[in-house]
Structure 1
Amino acid sequence: MSEKTFHKAQTIRDKAVGCPSIVEAVQFHGVKITKNDALVKEVSELYRSKNLDELVHNSHLAARHLQEVGLMDHAVALIDTAPNSTQGYVVNFLVREPKSFTAGVKAGVSTNGDADVSLNAGKQSVGGRGEAINTQYTYTVKGDHCFNISALKPFLGWQKYSNVSATLYRSLAHMPWNQSDVDENAAILAYNGQLWDQKLLHQVKLNAIWRTLRATRDAAFSVREQAGHTLKFSLENAVAVDTRDRPILASRGILARFAQEYAGIFGDASFVKNTLDLQAAAPLPLGFILAASFQAKHLKGLGEREVHILDRCYLGGQQDIRGFGLNTIGVKADNSCLGGGASLAGVVHLYRPLIPPNMLFAHAFLASGSVASIHAKNVVQQLQDTQRVSAGFVTPGLH
């Protein structure tokens, strides 16, 4: 493409509605492995642009979507006038395709609060249509191991945000809340999509998990009697509305998510679990951020078989009720937490970004939650009677 001077889209945005446009060509610069049919699906809508303002807007959407579905690492749309035409335009996409192979090492803190190290490797756009293969191995300082390999295939098309994925993983972890260890081998198939003009997020998962529970000498009899091998086949369906500006430490927006898991088609597990998650965040004066979250879970066993201890509801830890040990709220036997059949948790946060603003925060919180026994006859009453409350101020640190 010959050297020309291009101006930012803001210079004409919302000012060219009355300027008709005819897209005469769409060209890509920097394409080596991406398939032509994939590119056609992504940009075909540009030819339907009725005016220059719409063409500018659609070109920006197309460039962003090329990156979000994994076809490109970087994409910029440049709009040029077509030769010998007063209303004709040529859209040029300057793109950079994903690297042939990526690998890395990351040290951090797991959701359990343990330091961990992760080794990861992957390849994006494997077949030139946005497919991705990723592998990861994680080891924590307390001896937990996890290895997984996943493959993802996006459905391409104008502003389509849907994909299917398959994951295999093996996990070996210690569960200090009930003095036991668990090995898991799982295969998961998932579909992620959008409904109602992309306003509603939709996910369906099919899980096949072979689990081995190994109780230690210190575990209560209620835990030891459930030790051994179990097989769980379950189907999960979730819908959500998410307007947050970012998924972690959002500064504004809401999340409303309802999920249902049904187990019992095959295997040993047989239950229905319903989960409701609500989150909201809003900015306050002086740079403060007010956030609140609420979570409710209800678990009901099917048939005469008791719900396994690995499938029950748990609370406690920095993911829900800070100030308590991980998964330690609720019914206990000796020194083991047995989980429950229902749980409620509510938290109010007050954040203040420091320097650097996206990494360092001061944080105050007030949290409350309760867990009802799996055998509770009056779940609501027991949730009211077993409330636990915590409050605190977290000194400035990384989040």
Structure 2
Amino acid sequence: MGTVHAKSVDPEDTEEEKARVDLQGLKAQVQRVHVSGLGRTKDDLIIFSVRDIFEARDFQSVILKIHEAKTKLAGLGCFKAVDVVIDTYDGADAMQDGIQVTFEVEELNLIGLRVNTAIGLNEGILSGGGALRNVFGRGEEINANYSHGTKKTTSFAINFVKPFHNECKTKFSSSIYQSCVEAGWAGYKEVDRGLLLGLAFSAAPNVTQQLVLDTAWRQLSCLSKSTAFAIREHCGHTLKSAIRHEISIDTRDDNIFPSDGQLMKMKNEIAGFGGNIGYIKNEASWQSNVPLPFNVVAQASLSAGHLFALNSKGTSICDRFVMGGPMTMRGFQLGGIGPHSDTCAVGAEAFWCGGVHLYTPLPLLTQGTFTDRFRVHMWANIGNIGDWKMDGSAREKLATLVRDMRLSYGAGIALNVAGLARVELNYCLPLLSKRGDKLQHGVQFGIAADVL
């Protein structure tokens, strides 16, 4: 058996003492692959993950193929650790350049417990639950989760996830769930109980897609005696059955503070295959980031949506769009833009909004692990919302979209929270608004995962 020894190189060594090895010139061929530590995981899944190693014919290719195989094994959802040992092969049919590769794996425990934190719509969420992992030997998982938010948002779900381990990374999921949300900006409480069936896949690099069948029994109730009559009309029970397609193209170098790249999202939903709710709903968003001198990053973003109610069925207040909040249209309260009845936001069938930012690191401070989490930014937001009738010429349609638009600007500090969300503390100056809008002059605090 051969053994490879390595030692660190002193940077003060002379160039003559340093040797450069051409790994492509070293002939090597893998004759045997052994995987130790297997229990529940199926053999065919392991063979699929490591079979490409046998195609390598030089040492560099062997190393690259082994790295690819290790990445595949680690991504199966079956193992908590994967290690690799490379040695010479000394079997009866050993060749002069024969190699044996051993993958030492440690399977996930069948039963696991989880406690996580997450970020919702301007609130923190604590969740916990248990899971049965790698149940049938191919990375399947059955889990149950309960979550509770700081604004009384609660949810409970039992989920089953089945990965298919193909080139498109296809994953099937199903969920039985119940969720409760208090929409304080509109004065109602929503309780959903339903079934979700999803199929997620990636057909190209940086592109993810998902098909979802969502069947939900929804119950709306008033939050208080002051809830407007326009909201009370929608209270009660509705049944929604919808098919939704989502696609995301993300080439950014970071989710929270990107310095380069773009993000494009589209979501299209059709409801009305069952129940008493029917509509076609389309949403799209775009973000672009451009690096500038002196570590400054310019960002532009745009978002829009449209809801079209089917004649045979109607929509609910919870299906309509609302606008305003500390992480979207800054300078306005959550749901503070658009049609209101008394103090309750009734939403609208269409909206558009955009934003521009200039980000820079904290000035006069040495950049390091902690300070890299902060950014100073100047921003401006613009947008509009309404039940528009898009008739007439292109100029008339454009005039309809920009009539009574809102505009705000300001500056503040943003914090990256563990790469999952961001916190902002801004000083806001609303410039254009409409009577009835709820403004937020001065300091505004916000936290969210999705930011405009």
Which of 338, 363, 376 is the aligned partner of 2:389?
A: 376
Q: Which has the larger radius of gyration?
A: 2
Change in CA separation of 1:313 and 1:104 when aligned onto 2, cut-off 3 Å: same
Matched, 1:137 2:155: no
Q: How many residues align?
A: 393
Counterpart of 2:411 in structure 1 is 393
Q: What is the rounded CA distance, in whole Å, between the counterparts of 1:45 and 1:278 in structure 2? A: 38
- How far does the alpha carbon of each residue in 1:124-166 deviate from its partner, in whole angstroms, 9 at most, with x for none? 3222211123332222233332112222111124x55121111
Matched, 1:303 2:303: no
Single out whichever of 60-69 and 182-191 deviates more from structure 2.
60-69
RMSD: 3.0
Counterpart of 2:55 in structure 1 is 48
- How far does the alpha carbon of each residue in 1:309-365 deviate from its partner, in whole angstroms, 9 at most, with x for none? 111122222442233222332222221111111111212233345651564443433
- 8 Å Cα contact 1:13/1:53 also seen in 2: no
Write the mapping of 1:251-330 to structure 2, written as runs, cut at 5 A.
251-330=259-338
Counterpart of 2:348 in structure 1 is 340
Counterpart of 1:29 in structure 2 is 36
Deviation, 1:261, is 0.7
Counterpart AA for 1:96: E
TM (norm. structure 2) is 0.77
Q: Name the SS for the 2:284 alignment partner.
A: strand
Structure 1 gaps, min length 5: none
Counterpart of 1:60 in structure 2 is 67
TM (norm. structure 1) is 0.87
Deviation, 1:107, is 5.0
Single out whichever of 250-259 and 177-186 deviates more from structure 2.
250-259
Write the mapping of 1:1-399 to structure 2, written as runs, cut at 5 A.
5=5, 15-17=22-24, 19=26, 21-83=28-90, 84-107=94-117, 110-157=119-166, 159-195=167-203, 197-198=204-205, 200-215=207-222, 216-352=224-360, 355-357=369-371, 359-373=373-387, 376-378=389-391, 380-395=398-413, 397=415, 398=417, 399=422
Structure 2 gaps, min length 5: 9-17, 363-368, 392-396, 423-452
Deviation, 1:235, is 0.5
Change in CA separation of 1:72 and 1:253 when aligned onto 2, cut-off 3 Å: farther
- 8 Å Cα contact 1:347/1:368 also seen in 2: yes
Percent identity over the alignment is: 27
Q: Name the SS for the 1:73 alignment partner.
A: strand
Deviation, 1:222, is 1.8
Q: What is the rounded CA distance, in whole Å, between the counterparts of 2:109 and 2:85 in structure 1? A: 23
Q: What is the rounded CA distance, in whole Å, between the counterparts of 2:56 and 2:130 in structure 1? A: 40
Q: What is the rounded CA distance, in whole Å, between the counterparts of 1:117 and 1:235 in structure 2? A: 29
- Runs of 4+ off more than 6 Å: 11-14
Q: What is the rounded CA distance, in whole Å, between the counterparts of 2:105 and 2:142 in structure 1? A: 21
